[in-house]
Amino acid sequence: MTWRVASLPCPAYADWASRNHYLFASPAWGELMKSLGARPLFAWNEQKSEGILLPVFRVPAALVGFLGFPVGGELLDRVDGQDLSALSRELAGTAGLSLVRTVRSVGTNMDTPATSFLPEVRIEGLQSWSPVDRKLRKDLSYARKRSMATAAGASSEVAGACFTLYRDTVLRHGGRVRYSRDYFVRLAELSTRTDRARLFVATLASGDFGGFAVVAGNGRTAYYLHGAVSEPGRSAGASDVLLEQVVAHARSLGCESLSLMASPWQQPGLVEFKKKWGNQLGLVATTDYVGGLAGSVLATLARWKSRGDRGAAMRWLAAT
């Protein structure tokens, strides 16, 4: 057995995660996953001196583990498909999982046998990046006069306001609310204990709450995890001043890349907004590895629900 799986990280694991700034693999992130109903497991490979946080979610008649959440990050991004399959199946057997799911950036490579593909916009070369897009410079100038973004504290009231805006935005677009109020409260508190996570809020010229954004640094890559703005905030350009702060914070962490994360195909306007900022277009692939009969059923259902993704991904890449 190559990987050892435990409910608590060994000292070598904790040191590795801290030294490499892998927030999504850290014990603190594992604690945060409990707010989503997950049981965090820590996988450690002594030979490679590498680890993986494996949040395990219980669904009807099955246990589903994620190789990192919300994404695997740069370590898994560069693992080839055959090795990733072997890793996933080993962890499924060791931890008794029905299904192991990976979410990773694959650029324009659609050869992987993914369950689904979603569009991702990134800023590469972050330390030397500047807003060269003419529309972006104009929008930023407009937004700076009408709103400002600042780092938030651990206030449960602020976290609650962020959750409410997130929930209302997701429901308005017909999506599923995946994150809880407790998650936002704990995430806000985490952002006061480590600079690897930061919650920004936008305040409008009127003094009203205009929106929020969350950025997380994981290794050399930062991730724009969450964001939403109110209708007045949208009119005031709060999305742009928030993302400006996200970029600045990611730079302060020394990150070389900022992922603006995957977007639903059903929200082309969101993708266009991100393209205004990004300089690289690609795909995020979700891949399921079956560990049992229940996992096979879940994987088949997921592929059926995402059956239009591959065609949408091919058309999007061709158009861009």
User: Using one digit for the tens of pLDDT, what is the confidence trace for 224-271?
Assistant: 999 999 999 999 999 999 999 999 999 999 999 999 999 999 899 999
Q: What is the CATH code of the structural domain delimited by 4-106+285-319?
A: 3.40.630
Q: What is the CATH code of the structural domain delimited by 126-255?
A: 3.40.630.30
CB 289 within 8 A of CB 85: yes
201 Cβ contact list (under 8 Å, min separation 6) = 149, 150, 152, 158, 162, 209, 210, 211, 212
Residues 280, 106: Cα–Cα separation, whole Å: 12
How much is the pLDDT for 112?
75
pLDDT, mean of residues 182-205: 95
Residue closest to 152 by CA, chosen among 140, 163, 141, 138? 163
The domain locations on the chain are 4-106+285-319, 126-255
Other beta carbons less than 10 A from residue 51's beta carbon: 25
Percent of the chain residues past pLDDT 90, beyond the cut: 83
Q: DSSP class of residue 152?
A: -
Predicted TM-score (pTM) of the model is 0.95
CB burial readout 108-145, b (16+ within 10 A) else e? eeeebebbbbbbbbbbeebeebebeeeebeebbeebee
pLDDT bucket at 70, cuts 50 / 70 / 90: very high
In which element (H, E) is residue 63 found? strand 62-66
Summarize pLDDT for 2-21 with one digit per residue, the tens.
899 999 999 999 999 999 99
CB 278 within 8 A of CB 131: no
pLDDT bucket at 1, cuts 50 / 70 / 90: low
